[in-house]
Chain A
Amino acid sequence: MDFPNPSYVHIIPGDVNRSDLGLSPEEYLRLASGVDEIIHCASDTSFSEQKRDQVKKANVENLHHLLGFAAKSNCFCFHHISTAYVAGKRRGPCPEAPAETFEYFNVYEETKHRAEKTAANFCRQHGIQLNIYRPSVVYGHSRTGRTLRFNALYYPVKTLLFLKNLYYEDTLHKSGKNAKKMGITFDENGRAHLPIRIETVPESGINLIPVDYFTDAFSAVMQTQKNGGIYHLVSDKNTSIAELIDYSQRYFNISGMQAVCPENMHPGSKNHLELLFERCIKTYKPYMKDERIFENHSTRGVLNTHKISCPEFDYPMFARCMQYALAVNWGNN
């Protein structure tokens, strides 16, 4: 987010893990007395059931600490960053309304849903307006590709590239026996043939938004909407798995991958590479067959006024993101 004048910004380090936010009583009171709006964007985005306690603590319990602070302050509007995926396991339209669901694909969805309910109840009781922002899958900056995290969209692509490079080395410097066993071959141009079919559903796809769209959209809604509401910060168009496969193959010089319908993917017919890839991206599998459609009537109304629209996730965009990812070695540089 670009601040008009950085001197207006005061950074006060705190700790949302603590009920006192890691502030001294004096600091806490001083801060509370000067606050009129709060943006809560701290979150744990892990999907792992193993990390349930950690995720629950970050997404639900720590929210209480912020809400408690809000109640003791002059805050009139609490801006809560959630996720479009609080919709849980469902198909079709997901309205910009409290989600009515009890089934989730993972602990992240579940805890973010619980957090929304917690925030709604609390703010209602304390007369605080609550804005809930629900972004879909966020990727890098639309113009630079810059991002700080390389999960979600990036992880399956990174895994593909890892496998390609691993077996390229095997073919180039060793006998290539292991690559052959996996059905992986390389042509004279170094193009890798990775025979991987990925199960997907027609009309399904992943809703992807760039981080700059997210911040712009959030900023526009936040500055104009102070009466409480739920806003889907999403793209109007889902990106299909077939498109993502196409982009990945073009950019990384790969062939052999295809998106297939479940009825064309018999369980016993999966080759070793498919089983392996499936195991690696198991966490993301539900999103590859995602049939949730996020409505965004409320948000679009605001964004149209500000002439903000979500850039399309096309091949140049994908290439920009991957170029950045490679340049920073997936965040390791």
Chain B
Amino acid sequence: MKPLEHITEEIRSMSSRCRHYAMCKIDFLETGLCPPAKETPYVSFFPQGRMDICDALARGLIPVTKTLVEIISSCTLCGRCDKQCHFVTGMRPMAVMQALKAFVAAFEKDGGKIKIIPEDETLDALKHITGSKWATNDPAHLVTYSNDPFPLAKRQMPGYVVLPGSADELVEIVRYADQLDIPVMVRGNGGSVFGFVFTHGIVIDVNRMKHIELDHENWTAIIEPGVTSFELQKAVTEHGFRVNTAEPAATVCGNIVCTGLFSTWANAYGVGADHFVDMTFTDLHGEIFRLNDKNAPNAFGFEEAVLPSPGICTSARIRMHPVTDDEAGVLVPFTSLEQAVSFARDLSIRRIGLSVGILGGHYLSTFISPTAFLAEKTGNVFSDILDIRYMVCVIGDRYARQAIRQMVSCVIAADTFKMLMLGLPRLTGPEWMDIVKGLESDRPAYETVFSQEMLPVLETLLSPAPETLAGAVDEDLREFYTDLYSRPHMTDMVWLNMFRIVSARMSRHKHMFAFLVYVPLDRMDVIHKILASLEKIAQQHGIDHDFGFLTPLDFGKRGILEYDYYIDHTDSRESDKIRLAMADLEPLMDRLSAAHKGVKWLKYIFSQGCARKENFLYT
């Protein structure tokens, strides 16, 4: 068997489907990280990088080098990638890792020739700054920094990848590149999905810069740019605090600079400049500045234009928020978006609850289902049988939850949510569905199903237990899932909202292309117009699409709306669809922005994420 024959089309295809959400780069399931990647945190050593390498090898994009063999051989086939990736995407990348190892074994057995990659002056200089281990021009590394699932970006191989260990090293690299006029691109954790982090010059990967220092007295955390949301949240939680974080694998600094960082916690904690007390940057000439310095560039201001970021963040002082010991989550179901928005806005105006988010029924079912099959079944049950079209998810203290119970007729409390999650495979049983369908009530079916009278039936019916939920996954993963879901935090809405490890499941089916728009929350007509336009364009171009979420901001005056398009990023026809859709969308969003106060497309906020929210919400 020839070496490349070990990488079958099935294996290659799976490897090309990696979503690049970098979830394998955080220890979100407490399995431990991929062992070699922990030691050498180039993207290439993580499962994400190995998937890219596999695809590139099969396509003949990279030669076999000593580094390539080293990367592949370092895999211990421990199986952690299988667990992590299955949890998020349903894929089992172990097969890819096995194929890669088989490839190397066959290559060596065949006496294959290893290509020597010559070093040059630039590489020497970079190695001089960081140490020889942390700078490279080997294609096996470079290829894992050359693309992402963004359908409109082309692959671009960098000349070099360098991993500085400190801000000083990072600044030195920038100055060196500036002197020689080499383009530089900084990359966070590799959770890149917008095609923004490619260059033919030097890619600076900040994954070694992960220092976190808590300042308890000032309720702040001083962090380096490689710290991810998950890591920071974990660190501050251990000391009784919380930070507002978004995607768990995204770096906090990168997320703030790029998007202003929003999540359902933005209801209480804000966006943009609300997140930090200060940030330190280096500009592209290596000049260092702090945002609090009166002479620094004004990153707090906002201009409605596509602008570059203020520079490369080398450290940030992030605000921490207090946590009370009586916090819990509740879900409030609704049959219409109007009702859900009205309720969420009411909560925000009355300052009830901390995290508030309106989710579509399918969004929630995807979050809580360990497989795509179950997610689809559950989503259909939620919307078609239980009449749940939207769900407002609220995290609040006991006073908030008491208030909510007085405001609405149906609340799914934390213990019911846990029951639902652990018994999900049994929710869709045909006999039970028959009973619910026959209720013929004057009120939505969810009011009966989640009523106090019905809860004992639900409990008996669902048999909620980690084993029940684990029954939905592949047999060889059941023990792992049983153990995983035996941990209380896995069914705790507060934890799940803080660490957001299930949100990446939205891309289990296909890569998600999110459109984010700030909206005036009191203008349901405008919200409808935006949603209808996004829906219409998606339909015109044959793109899968769905409502994502809507979170109130700034006491209900504004909200941030996400609408998602889903595409198979490995299919060029799907990329064409997005390209055509974007041509329709861009002018539309600009028109809506100009016509309605409070409508602001995220495109114009990109790289201005340090701005004060007032400067883009109310202009």
Contact = CB atoms under 8 A, between A and B. Distances in A.
The yes or no verdict on A and B being binding partners is: yes
Q: Interface range on chain A: under 10, 10 to 19, 20 to 34, or 35 or more? A: 20 to 34
A47 interface: yes
A283 B456 contact: no
Contact of B441 (A150, A167, A272, A283): A283
B461 interface: yes
A332 B434 contact: yes
A64 B438 CA distance: 29
A98 B72 CA distance: 85
B453 A279 contact: yes
Contacts of A170: 460
B459 interface: yes
A155 B463 CA distance: 24
A54 to B, nearest CB: 12
Contact of A166 (B335, B387, B460): B460
A162 B431 contact: yes
A49 interface: yes
A41 interface: no
A163 B457 CA distance: 8
Given A170-B460, A178-B459, A279-B453, A49 B435 contact: no
Given A151-B440, A280-B435, A174 B463 contact: yes
Given A174-B463, A280-B448, A50 B438 contact: no
The interface centre, meaning the residue of B335, B440, B441, B448 with most chain A CB atoms within 10 A of its CB, is B440
The interface centre, meaning the residue of B443, B448, B453, B463 with most chain A CB atoms within 10 A of its CB, is B453
Contacts of B440: 46-48, 151, 155, 283
A28 to B, nearest CB: 32
Contacts of A155: 438, 440
Q: Interface range on chain B: under 10, 10 to 19, 20 to 34, or 35 or more? A: 20 to 34
Contacts of B448: 279-280, 282
A167 B453 contact: no
B479 to A, nearest CB: 22
Contacts of A21: none
Contact of A159 (B430, B435, B442, B459): B435
A158 B435 CA distance: 8
Contacts of A104: none
B457 A48 contact: no
A265 interface: no
A197 B448 CA distance: 20
A150 B442 CA distance: 19
B435 A162 contact: yes
A167 to B, nearest CB: 7
A170 B462 CA distance: 11
B457 A282 contact: no
B456 A276 contact: yes
B441 A151 contact: no
B434 A50 contact: no
B456 A151 contact: no
Contacts of A332: 430, 434
Interface in B446-477: 448, 451, 453-454, 456-457, 459-461, 463
Nearest to A161: B431
A272 B434 contact: no
Nearest to A45: B440
Contacts of B457: 163, 166, 276
A166 B435 CA distance: 12
B444 interface: yes
A308 interface: no
B441 A50 contact: yes
Contacts of B323: none
B439 interface: yes
A330 B434 contact: yes
Interface of A: 46-50, 106, 150-151, 155, 158-159, 162-163, 165-167, 170, 174, 178-179, 181-182, 272, 275-276, 278-280, 282-283, 330, 332
18 contacts: A48-B441, A49-B443, A150-B438, A155-B438, A158-B438, A162-B432, A163-B457, A165-B431, A166-B460, A178-B460, A179-B460, A181-B456, A182-B456, A276-B454, A279-B453, A280-B448, A282-B441, A332-B434
Given A155-B440, A166-B457, 6 more contacts: A162-B432, A162-B435, A166-B461, A178-B456, A279-B454, A280-B435
